[in-house]
A and B are shown apart, each in its own frame.
Chain A
Amino acid sequence: MRFLLILALLLPAAASAADLSTATDAELTVLAADPDWTVRLDASLEQALRTDPDLTARRMAIAPRATRAGFLRFPTQMMNVPDAAPVLLHRFRTESAPEVRGALADCLSRLSVPWADAVVELMADEPDATVRSILVHAVRFIPPPQARALVVHGMADADAVVRAETASLIARRSDGLDFADALVPALADPAERVRISAARTLGTVQADVSEALVPLLSDGSSSVRLHALRALDRIDGPRAAEQARTLDLVSDLDARVSRLADRILGR
C-alpha cells in the first residue's frame, strides 16, 4: 500500500522525484515515516515548506560563515535545531562545495538521530575526507546498529583523520566498550594519530586489551607511547606500573611520557 502511494506521488514528478506538492497532509505524514530515508526526506521537506515556507526558504538560502579557524559553520540556532534537519540533508545532497557540505555535516551530525540511516549512507558516498571527518561525529549520537555501520565506514576510511576521529568519538558513547573490537586493529594502524586515538578510547572505555596495548609502549612515536601508557593505566594500573618500570619509561626522552610514568610509579 505504502509502495503504491509513493509510486503514485513520485512518478508524475518524473525529473523531480521530490515533487510532493500535490500530496495531502495525511499522505505526507505516512511518507515521513517511511523506512527509506530519501522518501522521508522528501516528505519532511514538503511538510516544512507547508508549515513555515519563509523559514524553510531562509534555511535553504543561508550561507555558512567562516569560523575563527577559517572553515565554515552555520553559527545560528536556526540551523541547529531538529526541524532544520530535512533542509540540511537536502542541501547536503545537492551541494557541490565541500566547504559548505562540511558546515552542513557539522549541524547534521548533532541532529542525526532520526536520520542515522541517511548519515551512514552519505558517509559511504562522501568524496571529501574533511567532510567525512565531520559527518562521522554522528557516531556520538546515533543508535547502536547505525553507529556500528558508521564506525565500520570510519575505521576503514582511506583518510587517517577520519579513522582517528572515528576512534576518538567512540569514547564519547556510553556503550563505547561495545565497539572495542573495532578499535583493536587500529592499534596497528600505520598512522600515528589513529594509534593514539584507538589507544585513548580503549583506555576510556576500559576495554580488556592490555596485551594489545603493551607493544605500543615501545612505539617509535612518543605520543603513541604516552597515550598507550595512559590507556593501560586506566585499564590496569598495576600492569601499567610494571611496564613503566620494565621499559624504564621514566627515562623516556619525551617529558610527557616520563612524567606520566613517574606519576604511575609514584602511586
Chain B
Amino acid sequence: MEHDRSPLFRTAIVLAGGLALTGCQAPEFAVDFGPAYALAEDADPTQAVNGIVGVPNIDDDDRNDDPDWEDAGADDENDLSPFWIQPELWRGVKQAERLRLRITDGDRDVRVWHGGAIVLGDNDGDRAPLEFELERSKEPIEFQVEFRDYLVRADLELVKLDRNGVDSEVFAFVAQAAPLVMNHHNQHAEQVMAVHVDYGDYDNTEFIEGYQAVLSDEQFIAVDGDRYQGDVWIQDEIEFGLVSAPGRRIDFVIDSIRNRGLDNVAEDLFEAPEFLVRTWGSGQATSQDSFGNLEATPPFTLNGQHYPFGKAYWGDGGGPYKITDDIADLFDSQVAQAPFELDTSWLCVGHVDEFMSWVPVPGSRLGWKLVYTDIDGAWDALEAMDPNTSIPRYRQAHGFDTVGEIVDDNGLRNLNQDLWDDYLEPNLDILKEETGLTDDDIIWLPGLFETASGCGGTTAALIPGMANLVVANFEGEAVELFMADPFLREDIGDQGADGMIPAARGVFPDDMNVNFIDDFWVYHFGLGEVHCGSNVVRTPVTDWWKTIGTLVEE
C-alpha cells in the first residue's frame, strides 16, 4: 500500500509517531493514533504496520459465553483500539471543505465506533456506511476500532473534500488485527508446571521435588494428577500463545485434540475472560497432534525480515501421522511465525521436542542457541567412562548391565549413525535454512536413541533425552535449565558419580544453572522426558507491529 504523505497530514503523522514514543500529549497533534500508533521512531517504516493495531475481539468480557464480536458493544468491553482526530487538524480545512473517514476495504472484518455507535464497517452482520463525515470540533474526536478475528485488516482513509465534494487530500492508513502467535522457549518464564502423581507404582515425586528444590512456590505449580487420571504429559495437551497490541494482551491456551486425561486442564487452570482456550481440529488425534510436536524458534532476522516470534515448526511422522490440518492452516494463515516442518517419522512418539530445544545465551550472535542431539558426543562420553560401570537403571529399562555393553553394541552404534545421516542432519539443514543459524549457534548435547519395543521399529531416547529440556528464565534471575538425569552410574543417588553429567553440563554457559532431575520411570520409560512432562507460562513478546507489518499485510 502506498502511504499518502499529503501536505495536510504529513506533520501530523510524524508527530504522532513521537507521541507513541514519549507517551505525552502535545496540542499540535492533528491525528493521534495514541498507543496503537505504529510508526514509532525506532521502527523500520518498511516493516512496521502503518496505522492502528489491535487485538481481535474474540474474548468474552461480558461473560455470556459468546465472543464479544458477536455482541457488538458488549459490557466491560476493553478490546477496542482508539484513535483521535485532534482539533488542530481543522486549521487546514476551509469552511466549505469537509473531512470524512472512509473504509475502503475490510468493512466486514472491522468496525469503527464513535459516540457509542458503529459508524463504519460491520454493523452486527449488516454493512454500516462506508464513510463518516466529521463535524468540526474544538475537542479531540475519538474513534475506536474493533476487529473480528486474528490478522484481519481494513484500509481506512481520512479524506479532505473540496468545496465541490471532490477528494483533494487523502491520508490512507490501515487497521490491523494482531496475529495469534505461540510462545517460544526463550521468553521469560512466569510459571512452570508439571503434573504430580504418587500412586506407589507410578510416582514422580522426585521429579516434582527436582523443580521445587530450585523454583519458588510462585514459580512452580504441581498440578494434582488425581484430577486428570494420572496423565502427566502436560506439554502435549496445551500450548500457550497470545494476541497482543499496545496495552492489550489476550492470553491463549491452544488446547490440543489429544484429549487424554488432561483434556480439561486448560479450562480448569487458565480459562478466564482474557485467557482464552481454543481448539483447532477435531476427530481422531495422532501423536503428532500433541504439542510436544508444536514449537517455535526464538526470534531472528533472515534475509532482512525480522521474526519477533520466531517461526513455528512441527514434525511430520509420515503418511497419516501428521499434525491436524487445522493447526497447520492456523499457523500458515497467521504468517507471523511462518511455519516449517521437520521429519519425525523415525521417532516412536514423533515429536520435535525429542531431539532439540533452544536456550537463551545473551551475548551470543543471535541471543540464543539451538540445543541439538549429539550422537558422537554421546559415544565420546560413554567411551571415556569405565566400561565396567554398572548402570542399574539401564539394566532394568534397556537391558544393558554396563556402560561397556552400550559401547560395544554395534547395532546400536550403526542405528544412531543412520539416524544422524538420514534424519538428524537433514533436519538440522532445514533448521539452518529456515532460521539462518550456523554451526556456531548450536550447543551439542549428548544423546542416543534405540529402537523401542511396541513402536513398530521406530526409536526413542536410550539415554534419557536431555535435549528435551525446560528453560526457566525468570526475569532478573539466572537461567535455570531442567533436563533428564542420565543415570549413567551405579549409585542412583549420587549424581557426582555420573559419567554423562559432566559432559552434558560442560556444553552450556557457566552462568546457566543446569538441573538434572529424575524423570526416569514415569517419563523416560514412558517415552517422554522433562519437557514433555512440563509446561511454562511465559511473558509475551510484543511490538510485533514494528517489525512484521509487511509480513502480515501480505
Binding site for B on A (CB under 8 A): 58, 62, 65-71, 73-81, 102, 105-106, 109-110, 130, 133-134, 137, 140-141, 161, 164-165, 168-169, 171-174, 176, 193, 197, 200-201, 203-205, 226-227, 230, 234, 255-256, 259-260
Contact across chains for B455 and A69 when beta carbons are under 8 A apart: yes
Contacts of B414 in A (CB 8 A): 171, 200, 203-204, 234
Across the interface, do A106 and B453 meet the contact criterion of CB distance under 8 Å? Answer: yes
Give the contact stretch, choosing among B164-172, B403-411, B544-552. Answer: B403-411
The reply to whether B454 and A75 form a contact with Cβ atoms under 8 Å apart is no
CB within 8 A of B410: which of A79, A133, A204, A227? A204
Interface flag for B422 (CB, 8 Å): yes
Instruction: Please name the residue on chain B nearest to A131 by beta carbon.
Output: B454
When C-beta atoms are compared, the residue in chain A nearest to B524 turns out to be A75
Are B409 and A76 within 8 A (Cβ)? no
CB distance from B121 to the nearest CB of A (A): 47
Main secondary structure of the interface of B (DSSP, over half): loop
* Residues in chain B near residue A62, CB distance under 8 A: 201
| B526 and A75 form a contact (CB under 8 A) | yes
- B491: chain A residues within 8 A (beta carbon): none
The 3 A-B pairs with the shortest beta carbon distances in the complex, nearest first, are: A171-B411, A68-B528, A80-B396
Note all chain A residues with C-beta closer than 8 A to B451: 165, 168-169
Could you say which residues of chain B place their CB within 8 Å of the CB of A58?
Answer: 200-201
**With a CB–CB cut-off of 8 A, which chain B residues contact A200?**
414-415, 418
Q: How far is the CA of A83 from the CA of B287 in the complex (A)?
A: 34
Distance of A134 Cα from B408 Cα, bound (Å): 23
Residues of A within 8 A of B398 (CB): 110
| Assembled-state Cα–Cα distance A63/B200 (Å) | 11
Determine if B399 and A141 form an interchain contact, defined as CB atoms under 8 angstroms apart.
Answer: yes
A201 lies within 8 A of B411 (CB): yes
**Bound state CA distance, A169 and B399, in angstroms?**
13
Q: Is the CB of A73 within 8 A of B201?
A: no
Contact B526 A256 (CB under 8 A): no
Q: Which residue of A lies closest to B533 (CB)?
A: A68
| A75 CB, min distance to chain B CBs, angstroms | 4
* Contact yes or no, B396 A77, CB < 8 A: yes
B202 to chain A, nearest CB (A): 6
Nearest CB of B to A32, in Å: 22
Q: How far in angstroms is the closest Cβ of chain B from A72?
A: 9
Q: B379-413 vs A: 1/0 string, CB under 8 Å?
A: 00000000000000000111100000000111110
Question: Given that A68-B349, A133-B454 are contacting pairs, would A73 and B526 also be in contact in the complex, using a CB cutoff of 8 Å?
Answer: yes
| Chain B residues closer than 8 Å to A76, beta-carbon distance | 201-203, 521
Task: Identify the closest chain B residue to A59 (Cβ).
Answer: B201
* Cross-chain contact A110 with B399 (CB below 8 angstroms): yes
Contact partner, A130, options B348, B454, B457, B527, Cβ 8 Å: B454
Residues of A within 8 A of B397 (CB): 80, 110
**With contacts A75-B526, A134-B453 known, is A66 near B412, CB below 8 A?**
no
The CA of A193 and the CA of B421, in the complex, are separated in Å by: 18
* 24 cross-chain CB contacts under 8 A: A58-B200, A58-B201, A65-B230, A68-B233, A68-B290, A69-B455, A75-B522, A75-B525, A75-B526, A81-B396, A106-B454, A109-B399, A109-B453, A134-B453, A140-B399, A141-B399, A161-B457, A171-B411, A193-B457, A200-B415, A201-B411, A203-B414, A226-B422, A227-B418
B456 interface contact, C-beta 8 A: yes
Query: How many Å from the CB of B446 to the closest CB on chain A?
Result: 21
B163 interface residue (CB < 8 Å to A): no
Contact partner, B526, options A65, A141, A168, A171, Cβ 8 Å? A65
Are A77 and B521 in contact, CB atoms less than 8 angstroms apart? yes
> Is there an interface contact between A67 and B411, defined as CB atoms closer than 8 Å?
no
Q: Least Cβ distance of B248 to chain A in Å?
A: 36
Kindly state whether residue B295 has any CB partner on chain A within 8 Å: no
A73 touching B525 in the complex, CB below 8 Å, given contacts A102-B454, A230-B418: yes
